[in-house]
Amino acid sequence: MLSKSSSIAVHQPLLHFLLLLLSNFSWATSSSNSSTPQNFIQCVTINSQLSVPVVTTLFTPNTSSYISVLTSTLSNLRFLEPSFSKPQFIFTPLHDSHVQAAVLCSRKLGFHIRIRSGGHDYEGVSFASHFQTPFILIDLINLRLVDVNIEQNSAWVQAGATIGELYYRISQKSKVHGFPAGICPSVGIGGHITGGAYGSLMRKYGLAADNVLDARIVDVNGQILDREKMGEDLFWAIRGGGGGSFGIILWWKIRLVPVPETVTHFKIGKTLEQGALKLVSRWQQVMDKLDEDLFMNVRFTVINSSCNSSVNQRTLRIDYNALFLGDCNRVLQVVEKSFPELGLERKDCMEMSWAESAFYLFSYGKPVESLLEVKTSPRIYFKAKTDFVTVPIPEEALEEMWTRLLKEENEPMIWTPFGGMMSKISETEIPYPHRKGILFMIQYLSTWEDEEDSERHVDWIRELYEYMTPYVTNSPRLAYVNYRDLDLGINEKNTNLLTLTSSDHWGIKYYKKDNFKRLVQVKSQVDPDNFFRHEQSIPPLNY
């Protein structure tokens, strides 16, 4: 998600916010007399099958470890700001029955809940509230088992496990099996798949959600449903329809896919002065048509360029960061045939296992064991937006885009290629609709280290997004739900869904009209009272 240079822990802003949180708990104490942490503990204990003391899994603002638990997997410091409501308390279940009981008890005691299974929530809706209403956080961080079955080409994965943990467990059983999820090892698998989940195998095997065989979810009645019990409509909805709308995912059963024992990574960078404009124009024309074994994204980074001994100027470096499912000899042939302008040479290639490649695509290399590492502190402030492109962006528009990118810092843009299997799967197969005809996805990123700079950086990304309007999809202007963007709109209570037919509605931008309509119908069937909700959850009819 973020480059290595932008993932450094920001100690001063973090300390500042921790002090604010510790000195102001007014957001955490407003509840009715019957809705207290003690009542919740008692209720969960009575309704759980497991005899582990539930009190050890609950953290209130008066608990010394509350702040560390709250911030344990956060990646965006923006949502520690006092303007966002924080949980009255945090519950970290140890067993599936704890989650069942948490749902039953939250309904009984009148708690609004948020569910977190990773922390890479771009707009913080899984652990903070823009509505300023009391809520509790159910954090699945303790539910992280991975059971790999090579004979059946499948694995059961608990929702709190990270992508890195899944990749590592697969690699311990086989060197020729993989899974088409993301390229950031610390992302939680539970929420990741609910949005579709793309990665370096997408052109070969589609999305993570395309490769889900079964699931276990706690519904609004506290029941655990598998695919057979939930039915195909709900099973369809949870594979790409976004998290926090239909229930709490406990497990995913995923299909493992074949990968070669040796894959090849390469990274080639060009600055503006080295002809980056012509090369990125050519990439747009060929990338979706290249061999589906080749994934090559484009990452734009602002750097300082020494023009002479006394003057430093800013320029853009454009990196072509690639994974090829095969050895160096074969990728050299593929690139020479279809994209010779890139100038790929044997010295650029690094051969490795598929599991090792996860780190190289994230811009650095580490031992496979490092996939088990989970970040433990917030990193930086950031804001992101997304677009999808169906027609190559003309060079004159790219030149103006360069000038806008140079006003920002770090890595302000990433282009992700489509084509291959992504063009072969119907846009209605799962709720994620961005398929045939998409050349690439744009992720805009603005990152900063000081709270006082927030307005300037958010204004910059909104202005860039506005400038790009003529060059991206329209009616609707599409977006990717896993890079959630509240600028697109938020739910309002008592909204009548029968009127939500405009392409301006956030749901249609994420899912397109027909998929969104079907998601609303499923929601209306399984959670008509909208118990599972947040700022951009799927609303039921007439809510």
Q: Is the pLDDT of residue 18 over 80?
A: no
Highest mean pLDDT among 17-21, 29-33, 70-74, 290-294: 290-294
Q: pLDDT confidence of 13, banded at 50, 70, 90?
A: very low
What pLDDT does residue 499 have?
47
Q: pLDDT confidence of 24, banded at 50, 70, 90?
A: very low
In the structure encoding, which two tokens stand for residue 34, read together?
Answer: 């019957």
What pLDDT does residue 304 have?
84
Report, as an integer, the average pLDDT of 431-457.
Answer: 94
Pair 499, 541: CB distance under 8 Å: no
Q: Is the pLDDT of residue 523 over 60?
A: yes
Q: Is the pLDDT of residue 125 over 60?
A: yes
Q: Where are the alpha helices (DSSP H) in 468-512?
A: 506-511
Separation between Cα atoms, residue 413 and residue 417, nearest integer Å: 13
In the structure encoding, which two tokens stand for residue 167, read together?
Answer: 């990749």
Q: Are domains 37-139 and 146-258 of this chain identical in fold?
A: no
Buried b (16+ CB within 10 A) or exposed e, 465-477: beebeebbbeebb
Report, as an integer, the average pLDDT of 17-34.
Answer: 42
More confident residue, 442 or 371: 442
What pLDDT does residue 360 have?
81
Across 18-27, 232-241, 416-425, 466-475, least confident range = 18-27
More confident residue, 18 or 63: 63
Q: Is the pLDDT of residue 8 over 90?
A: no
What crossing angle do the helices spanning 96-109 and 37-47 adopt, rounded to 10°? 130
* pLDDT above 90 coverage of the chain, percent: 72
Report, as an integer, the average pLDDT of 278-300.
Answer: 96
**What are the CA-CA distances from residue 134 to residues 25, 89, 112 (Å)?**
12, 10, 7
Q: pLDDT confidence of 493, banded at 50, 70, 90?
A: low
Q: Is the pLDDT of residue 325 over 70?
A: yes
Which candidate, 167, 206, 161, 215, places its Cα nearest to that of 188? 161
User: Is 273 strand, coil or helix?
Assistant: helix
Q: What amino acid is encoded at 43 in this protein?
A: C
Fold of 263-352+380-468: Vanillyl-alcohol Oxidase; Chain A, domain 3 (3.40.462)
Pair 316, 271: CB distance under 8 Å: yes
| HEC profile of 38-66 | HHHHHHHHHHCCCCCCHHHHEECCCCCCH
Which candidate, 299, 274, 285, places its Cα nearest to that of 394? 285
Report, as an integer, the average pLDDT of 158-181.
Answer: 97
Which candidate, 238, 227, 226, places its Cα nearest to that of 115? 238
**Each residue of 36-50: pLDDT tens digit?**
898 998 899 888 876
- DSSP at 274: G
Q: Where are the domains of the chain?
A: 37-139, 146-258, 263-352+380-468
Pair 517, 505: CB distance under 8 Å: no
**What are the CA-CA distances from residue 262 to residues 40, 160, 180, 324 (Å)?**
51, 29, 16, 9
Q: pLDDT confidence of 378, banded at 50, 70, 90?
A: low
Q: pLDDT confidence of 10, banded at 50, 70, 90?
A: very low
With vertex at residue 276, the alpha carbon angle to CA 274 and CA 282, rounded to the nearest 5 degrees, is: 135
Q: pLDDT confidence of 367, banded at 50, 70, 90?
A: confident
Report, as an integer, the average pLDDT of 460-478.
Answer: 97
Report, as an integer, the average pLDDT of 5-30.
Answer: 40
**Each residue of 181-223: pLDDT tens digit?**
998 888 999 999 999 999 999 999 999 999 999 999 999 999 9
Separation between Cα atoms, residue 436 and residue 390, nearest integer Å: 9
When the pLDDT of each residue in the chain is averaged and rounded to a whole number, the result is 88
In the structure encoding, which two tokens stand for residue 463, read together?
Answer: 């202005």
Separation between Cα atoms, residue 183 and residue 358, nearest integer Å: 6
Q: pLDDT confidence of 104, banded at 50, 70, 90?
A: very high
User: Is 387 strand, coil or helix?
Assistant: strand
More confident residue, 497 or 367: 367
Class of domain 146-258: alpha beta
Instruction: Please enumerate in sequence order all residues whose Cβ is within 8 A of that of 537, keeping only pairs 6 or more positions apart, or say none.
Output: 125, 242, 244, 245, 491, 530
User: Does the domain spanning 37-139 belong to CATH 3.30.43.10?
Assistant: yes
| HEC profile of 146-189 | EEEECCCCEEEEECCCEHHHHHHHHHHHCCCEECCCCCCCCCEH
- Phi/psi for 156 (5° steps) reads -100, 130
